[in-house]
Every structure is written in structure tokens, then in C-alpha cells.
Amino acid sequence: NKKLLNACKPLAEYSYFVDCIRKKFRKNNDLTRSVNEAIDMMPEDSILKPILNSHRAEVMKMCVLEYTQEKAEEIHQAEINKLKDEALKEKNRADNEKNRADSEKSRADNEKNRADNEKSRADNEKNRADNAEKAKKNLIAFLKNSGKTDDEIKDILNQNKK
């Protein structure tokens, strides 16, 4: 916030100092060197420069500690993110496997229903054939009881087939 930095010179200088450390560190990857160069780069009329110079060793320890803590937090957060990603992938794999199992169960249920329907159709066809055979036997018995000869019964049955 520029307004805040303009209103508070020590805060603006500290922000500049931290920014210098970060820029230097990105270039040389040496934290001690980056802190020393950032202190040296502070303007001569800076409020913080004499304090930073007189307490250089403490500033160095603080920056290293802060950097180490920051790095540890970054690593920790990266590990957490990795675990979250792995958990999410595993959940997705489990969900996909459940969906495949559900789909396979549904296919099996459909196949069972088709088989059951086919069995019902076959049973119905057998019942119709059995009923037709019984009706034929009943007709033959009726015709015999009516005094028809076997040849007459055959003729009657043959006429029904046409």
C-alpha cells in the first residue's frame, strides 16, 4: 500500500530492504551475500542503514532464520498440497472404480432380466404346447366317445392343421 509506505518512512525503508534481499537472492542464491549487499545498498540518508550496519550480525541471523522458516513453511505447504492432490486422485480413482462396478452390476442385472424374460417366454411356449397336446388328447377322447373311428379322427385332425 503506497499510501501507508509514504506515511511511514521506516516501513518504506524496511520494505525496500526486504525487496532488495529477495531480488539479490534470486540472482545469486546466496542469502548472506544478498543481505550484506542489501544493507550496503540502503541510501546513506536512510533511518535504517545505521541500525542495520551496527547490528549486521543480528540482522543476518534474523534474515537466515526467517528465510529458513519461510522455506520450511513452503516445503510443508508443498507437502500438504501434494498429499491433498494424491488424496484427490485416489478419491477420483475410487469413484471411477465404483462407477465402473455400478455400471457392470447394472449390465449384469440387465442380462439377468433378459435371461429371466427368455426363460418366461420359453416356459409360456412349453405351457402352450402342453395345453395344445392336452386339448388334442381331449378332442380325440371326445371323438372316440362320440363313436368316431380312428380314420375319421385322423381326417378331422388333418383338417384342423390346414
pLDDT digits (tens, 9 = 90+) for 62-86: 888 887 777 767 767 888 898 899 9
In terms of Cβ atoms closer than 10 Å to its own Cβ (0-12, 13-18, 19+), residue 84 is exposed
Tell me which of 12-16, 17-21, 65-69, 105-109 is least confident. 65-69
Q: Are the C-beta atoms of residues 53 and 39 closer than 8 Å to each other?
A: yes
Q: What integer best gives the mean pLDDT of the chain?
A: 90
pLDDT digits (tens, 9 = 90+) for 124-162: 999 999 999 999 899 999 999 999 899 999 888 888 666
Q: Mean pLDDT throughout 74-100? A: 89
Q: Determine which helix (DSSP H) or strand (DSSP E) holds 50, and give its type and residue range.
A: helix 48-54
What CA–CA distance (Å, rounded) separates 94 from 113? 28
Q: Are the C-beta atoms of residues 67 and 29 closer than 8 Å to each other?
A: no
Q: What are phi and psi of 120, to 5 degrees?
A: -60, -45
Given this model, what pLDDT does residue 162 score?
Answer: 60
Q: What are phi and psi of 42, to 5 degrees?
A: -60, 140
What CA–CA distance (Å, rounded) separates 66 from 80? 21
